[in-house]
Structure 1
Amino acid sequence: MNSIISILRENIDVSDELIAAIDASFAVVEFDLDGTVLNVNESFMKLTGYEEDEVVGQHHSMFLPEEMLNGPDYEMCWADLRAGKRKQVEVPCITKSGDRIWVEETYAPVRNSDGELVKIVRFGVNVTERHEMVADLQGKVDAIRHSHAIVKFDANGIILNANRHFLAAMGYDLSEVVGQHHSMFVGEEYAKSSAYQAFWRSLANGESKIRQFKYFGKDGREVWFEATYSPVLDVYGEVIKIINLAVDITDEVSELIGLKSTLEVNFAEVDEHIEGVDRKCETAEQMFRQAQAHLEASNIASGVLVGCVGETLERMTELRSVSDHVFDTVIEGDVAAVALENAVDRLRDGAGENSELAEQIDNLDECVTESSRILTSLRLELKEMLNRMAVVSLAIEKHGDVTGQMTSEMHGIQTSLDAAQNAIATIGQSTEEMALTIGRSREVSVVLAR
C-alpha cells in the first residue's frame, strides 16, 4: 500500500489521519493503463475475499460478470481512462466466493510530475444493500407504472405528465393534456363547485386523497378511476407536485350500474308480487271472517238440531211403545174374533130348524166376520206403521250420529279457521318483513351503483 500513499503524498498535501481515513473507507485498487492490478488495500481484500497475491498481476476483468465484458461499453470505459478522463460508475463485482456485490466506483487517472498518465486508481464503496433496496423500489415503481394510470400535476392542478395507460383510457395524446388543468377531465358543473375547489386546496396543503373519480374522455364517454392523489414534498415540506395513481374501473362500474338496473326491475316485480300477496291475504281474511260468522250460525243451528233430534227420538220411542201396545191389543182382538166365530158356529149347530134364531145367528156371523176383517186390516196397517217407525227411528238415530259428527267436524273447522287466520297473519308479517328486506336491498344496490 506504500505506492498508494506515495501517490497521494506526491499529488496532495494531506495528513496521515486523512490517508488512514481514506484507506479505511474505500476499497482501493491501482491499475496500470492496460487494466492490470498493481496493488490493493485491506478494505478491497475484505470486500472481495481475495488475498493480495491472488489479484496482483491479474486484469481488472476478473472482478466483473461475463455480460459486462462482452459489451462495447467496457472497452470504451478503459479508452476514456487512458485518455485521462475520470469515471464514476456503479457496477457489479464478483467476489472470490462467486457472490455478486454492487460497488460504487470512482476511477481517477494518475499523472507523474511531467503530466504523463502512469496509472489509474479506483476508489470503491460497497452499495449492495442500497442497490437492492433501489432495485426493489424500482421494481415496485415499474409494476405500478405498468398496472396504473399515472398523472403528475403541479400544486395548482396543471398537468405535468401522464403515462400511456391514462392516455389510452381517456383517448388523448400527451401533447393534448400537458399544460392543461385537471378540470378538463371532469364535468363543467363539478369543476365550478366548492367541493372541487376544496379538493385541490387540501391537496395543495399536503393531504392525500383516495376516492373514485368520474372523468370524461376525449369523446365525452364516462371513464371511472379508483384514484390516489399523493402530494410530493420538497426538503422544506412544500408541495411541489401531486401524483395521481389510478386504476380504470369503468367496466366494474358499468357492471354495477347494470346490476342496479336489473335489481330495480326484479324489485319492481317482487313489489308487484308482494302487493298481490297482500291483496290475497286481505281477501282471505274477509272470507275467513264470513266463514267464521257462518260457522257460529251453524253451531247454533246444529245445537238446535241436536236437541230436536233427541226430542224426536224420544217421542218416536213413546209412539212406538203405544203402537206396540195397540198391535198387541189387535192381536188379542184377532184371537177373540176366532173364538167368537167358533162360538157362532156352535150356536148355529144348536139352533137347529129355528129359522128366526138362524137368521139372528147369520147376522151375528156377518158382524163377527166384518170385525175380523177390520181387525186383520188394522193389524196389517199397524204392522206396516211399526216397520216404518223402525225405519224412521233408525234414520233418526243415524241422523243423530251424523249430527254429532257434524258438530265435531264444526269444531274441527273452527280449529282450522283459527289456524288459517294465524297463518294469514304470519303471511302478512312475512310480507312486511319481505318489503323491509327489499327496501334494504334497494339501498345496497344504490350504494353499489355509486
Structure 2
Amino acid sequence: MFGKRSSLADEAIAKLAALDRAQAIIEFNLDGSVLTANENFLAVVGYSLAEIQGKHHSLFVEPTYKESAEYRDFWAELRQGEYRAGRYKRLAKGGREVWIRASYNPILDRSGKPYKVVKFASDITRLIAEETERQGQIAAIHKSQAVIAFSLDGVVLEANENFLEAMGYTLPEIVGQPHRTFVDADHARSPEYHDFWSKLRQGAYVAGQFRRIAKGGREVWIEASYNPILDASGRPYKVVKLATDITAQVKLLADLKRLIEQNFSEIDSAILRSNQEASEATQAAGSTADNVQTMAAASEELAASVAEISQSMVKSRDATDNAHGQVIGAAEFTQKLAQATTAMSGIVGLIQSIAGQINLLALNATIESARAGEAGRGFAVVAQEVKSLAGQAARATEQIVGEIDNVQAVSQQVVGALATIQGSVERMRDHVISAAAAVEEQSVVTRDMSGNMQDAASAVAAIAQNILAISGSVGSVSQAVATTKEAARVLAR
C-alpha cells in the first residue's frame, strides 16, 4: 500500500516537473496576489520573482481592463472554484504586450474549498501576430476581391459581397448551386470545363481570365485564381476562387483593338499613298531636272551666241560711224570741187591770172585736206597735183576749157551719188545703232535667263534630293508604324 502511494507520489512529482519545464506557471492567492512563479513565466513577462511576489495579478493587465466589471467577475469566479481557460493579452515588464494560452486552475483543500489558483500558460505572442497578419490579409482580400468557395464537386459553399455584387445574386440564391451556373451551357458541356474541375480536385492551381455569366445572362469577365485548399494531410477539400471584375477593361481593350485596326489601316493606306506620290514626284523631279539642265545648257549657248552677235554689232556700228564720217567728208570735198569748176568755167579768159594764184589755191586746198582728216587725203593729192599743174597751166590752158566742162559734169554726178550714199549710210547707221542696242538688251536678257536656268537646275536637283529624303523618311515612318502597331496589338490582347 505504502509502496503504491510512494510510486504515485513520485509519478505526480515527475509530472509536475515536466509541467514546470514545459509551461509558464504562476500561483496566486485567492485575492490575486502572486505567491510564486517559475522561470518560464518570469522569462515571458521579463520580471524577476522578487519584482512580482506579493503583487496583484492586475500588474499584468491593461488599466482599463483592471477597472472593468469583467475583470472583477473573472476573479470572483476563480474564488468560487470555477476553472477559466483561453487566450489572454497580458502586459510584460515595460508595458510590452504578450499573448498567452492559459488555464486558471483553483486548487481545493481537503474540504473542497479553493485556497489558491495555479495558472499554466504558453507564450503564443508570435502565433497571435501571425494569425493577426493572416486575418488582415484575408480581410484585405475580401475587401478588394470577389471571393467564393466551392466543394470539390463544384457546389457553392459561400461567397462574399464583392462576388455577389459582381454577379448580381444574393447568397441564398447561389449557396448549394453548381459552378456551371456561372458559365454558358456550351462551355459547361465541353471537355475543357471537365478538365478544369479535374485539375482542381487533384490540387492543381488554375488562374487566368475567364468569361462568366451573371444573373440575367449578363456577360462578365474576371481575372481569377482557383485555389485548392488542403487539409492537414495535404489533401484538397475545397476550392476558393479569388477574382477581380475586369469586364470594363476587356470591353475597353476590345474597343482599343478595333480602333487600332481601323486607325492603323488608315495610316498604312496614307503611307502607301505617300510612298507612291513620293516615287512619282522623284521621277517627275528627275525628268524636270534633265529638261532644266538641257535648257540651261541651251541658254548658255544662246548667251554666248548673243554675246558674239553683240560684239559684231558693236564693230559694225563703229565701221558704219567711220563710213558715215568719210562720206560726209567726201561730200564736202566734192561740193567744193563743183564750186571750183563752176568758178573756173566763168574765168577761162582769165586763166593766166588765175594760174598766178594757183599756189594760193593749193595752200587753201592743203588746209582743207588737213581739216577733212582721213577723208581729205585724196584732196591733198589733188592739191599737190594743182601745184604741179601751176607750172604747166600756161601750156594746158587750151585743154582746161574742155576738161572743165567734163569735171563739172562728173562733179555734179559725184555730188548726187555721194548724197545718195550719205542718206543710205545714215539710215544704215541708224539701223545698226538700233540693232546694237536691241542685241545688247537681248544679251542682258539671255545672261539673266542663263543664270536663272542654272539656279532652276540647282533648285530642281535639291528638290529631287529632298523628295528622296522624304521618301526615305516615309519608309522609316512606315517601319515605325508597323512596330507601334504590333506593340499596340500586344497591349490590346
For the superposition of Structure 1 and Structure 2, which TM-score range results when normalised by the shorter chain?
A: 0.7 to 0.9
Q: Which structure is higher in RCO with an 8 Å CA cutoff and minimum separation 6?
A: 2
Q: Give the Cα separation in 1 of the matches to 2:343 and 2:307.
A: 54
The corresponding residue for 2:124 is 127
Q: Give the Cα separation in 2 of the matches to 1:103 and 1:61.
A: 15
Normalised to the residue count of structure 2, the TM-score between the two structures is 0.75
User: Does residue 211 in structure 1 map to residue 208 in structure 2?
Assistant: yes
Amino acid in the other structure paired with 1:216: I
Instruction: Give yes or no for contact 2:155–2:176 (8 Å, CA) kept in 1.
Output: yes
User: Does residue 350 in structure 1 map to residue 393 in structure 2?
Assistant: no
Task: Provide closer, same or farther for how the CA distance between residues 365 and 428 of structure 1 changes in structure 2, counting only shifts above 3 A.
Answer: closer
Q: Give the Cα separation in 2 of the matches to 1:10 and 1:72.
A: 45
Amino acid in the other structure paired with 2:124: V
Q: Give the Cα separation in 1 of the matches to 2:442 and 2:409.
A: 48
The corresponding residue for 1:440 is 483
The corresponding residue for 1:162 is 159
Higher percent of residues as helix: 2
3-state secondary structure, aligned to 1:206:
coil
The corresponding residue for 2:423 is 377
Normalised to the residue count of structure 1, the TM-score between the two structures is 0.81
Task: Provide closer, same or farther for how the CA distance between residues 12 and 229 of structure 1 changes in structure 2, counting only shifts above 3 A.
Answer: farther
Instruction: Give yes or no for contact 2:34–2:52 (8 Å, CA) kept in 1.
Output: yes
Q: Give the Cα separation in 1 of the matches to 2:471 and 2:147.
A: 56
Instruction: Give yes or no for contact 2:28–2:34 (8 Å, CA) kept in 1.
Output: yes
3-state secondary structure, aligned to 1:228:
strand
Q: How does 1:392-411 map to 2 (within 5 A)?
A: 392-399=438-445, 401-402=447-448, 404-405=450-451, 409-411=452-454
The corresponding residue for 1:202 is 199
Q: Unpaired segments of 5 or more residues in structure 2? A: 1-5, 351-400
The corresponding residue for 1:228 is 225
Instruction: Give yes or no for contact 2:81–2:113 (8 Å, CA) kept in 1.
Output: no
The corresponding residue for 1:390 is 436
Shift of 1:105: 0.7
Q: Give the Cα separation in 1 of the matches to 2:469 and 2:162.
A: 57
Amino acid in the other structure paired with 1:132: A
Over the matched positions of the two proteins, sequence identity in percent amounts to 29
Instruction: Give yes or no for contact 1:309–1:399 (8 Å, CA) kept in 2.
Output: no
Amino acid in the other structure paired with 1:446: R
Q: Give the Cα separation in 2 of the matches to 1:168 and 1:403.
A: 85
Instruction: Give yes or no for contact 1:320–1:389 (8 Å, CA) kept in 2.
Output: no
User: Does residue 449 in structure 1 map to residue 492 in structure 2?
Assistant: yes
What is the CA deviation profile of residues 392-433 of structure 1, one whole-angstrom value per residue up to 9, with x for unaligned ones? 44235425533542xxx4344333333323332332333333
Instruction: Give yes or no for contact 2:286–2:461 (8 Å, CA) kept in 1.
Output: no
Alignment counterpart, residue 152 of structure 1, candidates 144, 149, 169: 149
What is the CA deviation profile of residues 26-65 of structure 1, one whole-angstrom value per residue up to 9, with x for unaligned ones? 2222334454444433433343344546545544333211
Amino acid in the other structure paired with 1:380: E
The corresponding residue for 1:103 is 100
Instruction: Give yes or no for contact 1:333–1:375 (8 Å, CA) kept in 2.
Output: no
User: Does residue 247 in structure 1 map to residue 290 in structure 2?
Assistant: no
Amino acid in the other structure paired with 1:419: A
Instruction: Give yes or no for contact 1:231–1:243 (8 Å, CA) kept in 2.
Output: yes
Instruction: Give yes or no for contact 1:347–1:361 (8 Å, CA) kept in 2.
Output: no
Between the two proteins, the alignment pairs up a number of residues equal to: 439
User: Does residue 431 in structure 1 map to residue 477 in structure 2?
Assistant: no
Shift of 1:91: 0.8
What is the CA deviation profile of residues 125-184 of structure 1, one whole-angstrom value per residue up to 9, with x for unaligned ones? 222222222222222222222222212223343322211111112211112222233333
Q: Which has the larger radius of gyration?
A: 2
Task: Provide closer, same or farther for how the CA distance between residues 333 and 190 of structure 1 changes in structure 2, counting only shifts above 3 A.
Answer: farther
Q: Give the Cα separation in 2 of the matches to 1:44 and 1:403.
A: 114
Instruction: Give yes or no for contact 2:26–2:118 (8 Å, CA) kept in 1.
Output: yes
Q: Give the Cα separation in 2 of the matches to 1:177 and 1:133.
A: 33
User: Does residue 30 in structure 1 map to residue 22 in structure 2?
Assistant: no
Q: Give the Cα separation in 2 of the matches to 1:428 and 1:352.
A: 107
Shift of 1:358: 9.6
Amino acid in the other structure paired with 2:489: V
Q: Unpaired segments of 5 or more residues in structure 1? A: 1-8
Instruction: Give yes or no for contact 1:344–1:364 (8 Å, CA) kept in 2.
Output: no
The corresponding residue for 1:176 is 173
What is the CA deviation profile of residues 51-94 of structure 1, one whole-angstrom value per residue up to 9, with x for unaligned ones? 54654554433321133345554455445545554332111112
User: Does residue 294 in structure 1 map to residue 291 in structure 2?
Assistant: yes
Q: Give the Cα separation in 1 of the matches to 2:302 and 2:243.
A: 87
Task: Provide closer, same or farther for how the CA distance between residues 329 and 442 of structure 1 changes in structure 2, counting only shifts above 3 A.
Answer: same
The corresponding residue for 1:87 is 84
Instruction: Give yes or no for contact 1:341–1:368 (8 Å, CA) kept in 2.
Output: no
The corresponding residue for 2:357 is none
Shift of 1:265: 5.0
The corresponding residue for 2:40 is 43
Instruction: Give yes or no for contact 1:229–1:244 (8 Å, CA) kept in 2.
Output: yes
What is the CA deviation profile of residues 255-291 of structure 1, one whole-angstrom value per residue up to 9, with x for unaligned ones? 4444445545543553454345345324423532442
